[in-house]
DNA sequence: TTAGGGTTAG
């Protein structure tokens, strides 16, 4: 068959399936290894998104791949997104003693990204003439990955700047966030084209300035489908879903026909729209119009289904994608599982992946962190940085630092920050906020404040993180100070802010101030009421608190009665305590804390029959099995203890330290408080066990391993009991140590036989 | 065949 005839057939190839038929045709004619056809077949693979194994087979079928074949294969991998493959194919090319042609260098420079300078210096060293393609690729690479000065230098040294070069340097400045220089160059430019205008639209979108983006969009002398897509994705990525969808409708009505990129944006907007029916209507349109779906469209569809909770549809598309599954499809599948809390399935997919990117790691790490598996989140982070190739980014920082905060792992947090700083990972606004959260959850409010002031600009989230921390530390005065500060600076407080401030007032007994804050809230919700009940109760105005519950405009939830019960305990109001507890036994029958609080109230009133009754109730409801634990960090590891625990390797030393402390305390007049109904032990064992409560073991261990004069930080999963509270208070004086215990939601700061917090069992 | 638009983590 003559070559010209084959070329005519080749022109008719419009999809991967056609391509495969045509390929088979060539094989039958023994032409598939031909130096003319191999590069062309690879170009088809690039155009129709054929999967990598197929493209590689085509490439490998060449007897001796030509420079042309190599270049096309490099381009294929680049377009597919496998920069790593581009670079390793380049190595293969060198091993074949082939020199890259002028077309290969731009691809290599783009794929190298940050390392573009390596190719640049190689070109200079060889005295290679940097043609216009290469110069443009350099401006682009330096503009995208920095340093921008290098881009500018290449740009300035040119004597024949093309529109492309101008567009690239403008894009470089947008990438850096330098709106001024981008705009200056734009205004300076004489022959702007549609790409120049589109760059401005994208640039402003990147800066979250949608109004300016739209202004440029509306002023464009001409628009292509890419311009529309740029504006659409600007809206979509900034969360303006409605605007995106309405612009899409406008686009269709003026007769611009959407391409695959348009559909990708529209589909992803559907999933943030929240209406699960939306996606079906888009699919219907796609089917009616017979639109071919490339892997991007299919992946966007997969993600949308997953986000709407239709996992079976997502899985179906994932399977259909087969070899076309890219990283994004995998990542999306993983997050669809972590979203529903199915960490096992998520981890299975994660482990199956041969190639992972930073999003893959972040998805899994965040999955652990958000599902209460902080230790696993940190474990995976360690694995991530040990495996070369993937550098954590600001998103990773948020999850890992929050996990450290959750655990109270301060040393680990320092270590993470050291790594982040050493590797030049930039901190995002939310990373700063999670740092504030971490320091305050680790009991270090000074450092939390330091980070807060280090921020260029604080937002509502960072204020909330700080205020919530201050609340947990019982610092109402400062919490109010920061509320005023944010109002003065025009930052609108939200519901979280008010919960924090009210809690802080409550923990400091600031009734009048709290009332004023409460009255200033435009539409207080149930949690704000709960804070007020707590505040009134703590200062002893229990009847007023009960009245508030009766008169509030919504149905009280467990938090409301929980506050009342706690206040009844503090002020020894058995009647109200019984009332609140009975409500709680109905609302949350599984929460053993309520039973213990009531039972302890009976115990301190000497009503032992009632104590027995509650304990029996707990037993019949199967609530005696949960154990409390405490942990303390040493050498970036968490050392965990339960009551009477002897499993720690330093157990012998810990127990003798504890015995020594007990002797000294008794000498100072300490008597063990046994009124607390320990949930872990039977009566006969109780007397012995009180001395070995988990927080005491943790403190003893802390004293053994830490430097004199340093703070000992203990984290407990449930409330500290009165006995431990008394004992640790005395230990702080005896050993001249600052001891911080974080239980449920509060900090007990023990120093010199003092602790201002009286929330205990 | 070197410039602008696409899906995923928070």
Percent of chain A with pLDDT strictly greater than 70: 97
Q: Which nucleotide is closest to the Cα of A72 by its C1'?
A: B1
- Report yes or no: A596 and A589 within 8 Å, Cβ to Cβ: no
Domains of chain A with bracketed CATH: 356-457 (1.25.40.10), 525-625 (1.25.40.10), 629-750 (no CATH)
User: What is the spatial distance between Cα A346 and Cα A353, in angstroms, rounded to a whole number?
Assistant: 11
Q: Protein A192 CA to nucleic acid B4 C1', in Å? A: 12
**Cβ A419 vs Cβ A386: under 8 Å:** no
pLDDT for the residue numbered A406? 95
Q: How many CB atoms lie within 10 A of CB A552?
A: 17
Length A686 CA → B2 C1' (Å)? 79
pLDDT at site A454:
94
Structure confidence at residue A679 (pLDDT): 42
Distance of C1' in B10 from CA in A396, Å? 8
CA of A198: nearest nucleotide by C1' is B4
Query: CA-to-C1' distance for A678 and B6, Å?
Result: 59
Count CB neighbours of A524 within 10 A. Answer: 20
Write down the pLDDT at residue A626: 62
**A40 pLDDT above the threshold of 80:** yes
In this prediction, residue A681 carries a pLDDT of 46
Q: Residue with CA nearest B1 C1'? A: A103
More confident residue, A102 or A699: A699
- At A134-161, the pLDDT tens digits run 889 889 999 988 789 999 999 999 888 8
- What does the alpha-carbon distance between residue A214 and residue A235 come to, in Å, rounded to a whole number? 10
The predicted structure's pLDDT at residue A398: 95
User: For residue A600, what are the CA distances in angstroms to A189, A519, A559, A596, A678?
Assistant: 79, 35, 19, 6, 10
In this predicted structure, the answer to whether residue A684 has a pLDDT above a threshold of 80 is no
Structure tokens at A128: 């290679």
SS3 assignment, position A52: helix
Residue nearest to nucleotide B10 (CA to C1'): A395
> For A453-478, what is each residue's pLDDT tens digit?
999 999 999 999 999 999 999 999 99
Band of the pLDDT at A680, cuts 50, 70, 90?
very low
Distance A28 CA to B1 C1' (A): 31
Q: CA–C1' distance A217–B10 (Å)?
A: 29
Nucleotide nearest to A298 (CA to C1'): B7
Locate A553 and state its tokens.
């405009």
| Whole-number pLDDT of residue A498 | 97
Nucleotide with C1' nearest the A102 CA: B2
In chain B, which nucleotides are within 7 Å of a protein Cβ? 1-10
Length of chain A: 761
Of A409, A473, A480, A466, the closest CA to residue A432 belongs to: A466
Q: Does the pLDDT at position A389 exceed 80?
A: no
HSE-up of A565 (CA within 13 Å, CB side)?
26
Burial class (CB in 10 A: 0-12, 13-18, 19+), A91: exposed
Q: How far apart are CA A273 and CA A173, in angstroms?
A: 32
Output the pLDDT for position A271.
82
pLDDT at A354: 87
Query: What's the CA–C1' distance between A107 and B1, in Å?
Result: 11
User: What distance in Å separates the CA atoms of residue A364 and residue A349, rounded to the nearest whole number?
Assistant: 10
Average per-residue pLDDT for chain A: 91
Asked which of A244-253, A408-417, A615-624 is least confident by mean pLDDT, the reply is A615-624
Nearest Cα neighbor of A723 from A658, A669, A674 is A674
pLDDT at A518 over 90: yes
Query: What's the DSSP call for residue A751?
Result: B
Least confident of A1-5, A49-53, A573-577, A749-753: A1-5
Element spanning A736, H or E: none
In this complex, the residue with its CA at the shortest distance from the C1' of nucleotide B7 is A300
Closest residue (Cα, C1') to B2: A133
Distance A590 CA to B9 C1' (A): 34
Residue A678 in this model has a pLDDT that exceeds 70: no
Query: Which nucleotide's C1' sits nearest to the alpha carbon of A106?
Result: B2
Token pair of A24 as six digits? 């088979």
pLDDT in tens, A246-269: 999 999 999 999 999 999 999 998
Q: How much is the average pLDDT of A287-293?
A: 84
Closest-lying nucleotide for A369 based on CA to C1'? B10
Rounded to whole angstroms, the Cα distance separating A133 from A202 reads: 23
Tokens of A433: 């906020």
**Which nucleotide minimizes the distance between its C1' and the CA of A205?**
B5
pLDDT, tens only, A561-608? 999 999 999 999 999 999 999 999 999 998 888 998 898 899 888 888
Residue A713 pLDDT > 70:
yes
């Amino acid at each position: 068959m003559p070559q010209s005839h084959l070329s005519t057939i080749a022109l008719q190839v419009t999809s991967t399936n056609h391509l495969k038929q045509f390929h088979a045709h060539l094989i039958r004619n023994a032409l598939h290894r031909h130096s003319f056809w191999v590069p062309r077949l690879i170009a088809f693979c690039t155009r129709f998104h054929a999967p990598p194994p197929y493209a590689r087979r085509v490439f490998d079928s060449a007897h001796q791949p030509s420079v042309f074949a190599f270049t096309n294969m490099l381009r294929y991998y680049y377009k597919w997104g496998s920069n790593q493959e581009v670079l390793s194919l380049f190595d293969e090319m060198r091993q074949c003693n082939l020199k890259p042609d002028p077309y290969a260098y731009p691809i290599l420079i783009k794929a190298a990204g940050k390392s573009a300078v390596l190719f640049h210096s190689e070109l200079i060293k060889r005295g290679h003439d940097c043609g216009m393609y290469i110069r443009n690729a350099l401006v682009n690479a330096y503009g995208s990955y920095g340093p921008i000065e290098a881009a500018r230098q290449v740009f300035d040294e040119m004597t024949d700047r093309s529109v492309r070069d101008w567009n690239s340097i403008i894009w470089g400045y947008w990438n850096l966030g330098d709106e001024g220089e981008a705009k200056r160059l734009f205004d300076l430019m004489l022959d702007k084209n549609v790409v120049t205008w589109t760059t401005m639209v994208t640039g402003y979108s990147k800066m979250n300035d949608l109004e300016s983006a739209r202004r440029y969009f509306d002023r464009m002398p001409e628009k292509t489908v890419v311009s529309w897509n740029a504006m659409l994705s600007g809206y979509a990525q900034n969360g303006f879903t409605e605007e995106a969808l309405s612009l899409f409708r406008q686009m269709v009505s003026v007769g611009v026909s959407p391409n695959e990129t348009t559909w990708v944006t529209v589909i992803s907007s559907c999933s943030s729209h929240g209406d699960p029916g939306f996606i079906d209507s888009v699919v219907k349109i796609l089917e009616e119009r017979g639109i071919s779906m490339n892997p991007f469209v299919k992946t966007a569809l997969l993600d949308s289904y997953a986000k709407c909770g239709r996992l079976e549809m997502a899985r179906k598309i994932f399977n259909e994608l087969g070899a076309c599954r890219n990283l994004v499809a995998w990542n999306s599948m993983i997050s669809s599982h972590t979203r529903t809390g199915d960490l096992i399935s998520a981890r299975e997919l994660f482990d199956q992946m041969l190639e992972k990117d930073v999003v893959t790691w972040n998805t899994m790490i965040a999955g652990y962190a958000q599902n209460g598996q902080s230790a696993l989140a940190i474990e995976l982070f360690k694995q991530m940085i040990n495996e070369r190739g993937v550098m954590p980014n600001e998103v990773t920082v948020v999850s890992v630092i929050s996990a450290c905060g959750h655990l109270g792992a301060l040393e680990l947090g320092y270590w993470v920050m050291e790594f982040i700083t050493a590797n030049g990972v930039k901190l995002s606004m939310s990373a700063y906020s999670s740092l504030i959260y971490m320091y305050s959850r680790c009991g270090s409010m000074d450092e939390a404040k330091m980070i807060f002031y280090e921020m260029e600009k604080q937002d509502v989230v960072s204020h909330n993180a700080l205020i919530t921390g201050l609340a947990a530390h019982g610092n109402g005065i400062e919490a109010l100070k920061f509320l005023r500060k944010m109002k003065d600076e025009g930052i609108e407080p939200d519901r979280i802010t008010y919960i924090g401030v009210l809690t802080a007032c409550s923990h400091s007994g600031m009734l009048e101030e709290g009332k004023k804050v409460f009255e200033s809230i435009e539409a207080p919700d149930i949690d704000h009421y709960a804070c007020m009940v707590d505040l009134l109760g703590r200062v002893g105005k229990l009847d007023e608190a009960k009245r508030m519950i009766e008169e509030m405009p919504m149905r009280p939830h467990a938090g409301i009665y929980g506050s009342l019960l706690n206040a009844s305990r503090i002020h020894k109001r058995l009647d109200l305590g019984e009332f609140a507890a009975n409500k709680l036994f109905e609302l949350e029958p599984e929460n053993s804390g309520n039973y213990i609080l009531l039972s302890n109230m009976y115990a301190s009133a000497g009503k032992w029959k009632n104590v027995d009754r509650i304990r029996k109730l707990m037993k019949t409801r199967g609530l005696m099995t949960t154990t409390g634990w405490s942990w303390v960090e040493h050498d970036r590891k968490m050392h965990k203890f339960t009551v009477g625990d002897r499993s720690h390797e330093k157990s012998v030393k810990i127990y003798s330290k504890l015995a020594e402390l007990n002797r000294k305390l008794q000498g100072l007049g300490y008597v063990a408080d046994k009124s607390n109904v320990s949930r872990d032990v039977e009566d006969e064992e109780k007397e012995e066990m009180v001395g070995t409560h988990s927080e005491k073991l943790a403190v003893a261990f802390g004293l053994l391993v830490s430097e004199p004069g340093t703070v000992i930080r203990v984290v407990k999963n449930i409330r500290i009991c009165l006995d431990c509270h008394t004992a640790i208070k005395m230990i702080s004086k005896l050993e001249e140590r600052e001891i911080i215990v974080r239980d449920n939601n509060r900090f007990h700061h023990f120093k010199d036989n003092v602790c201002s917090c009286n929330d205990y069992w």
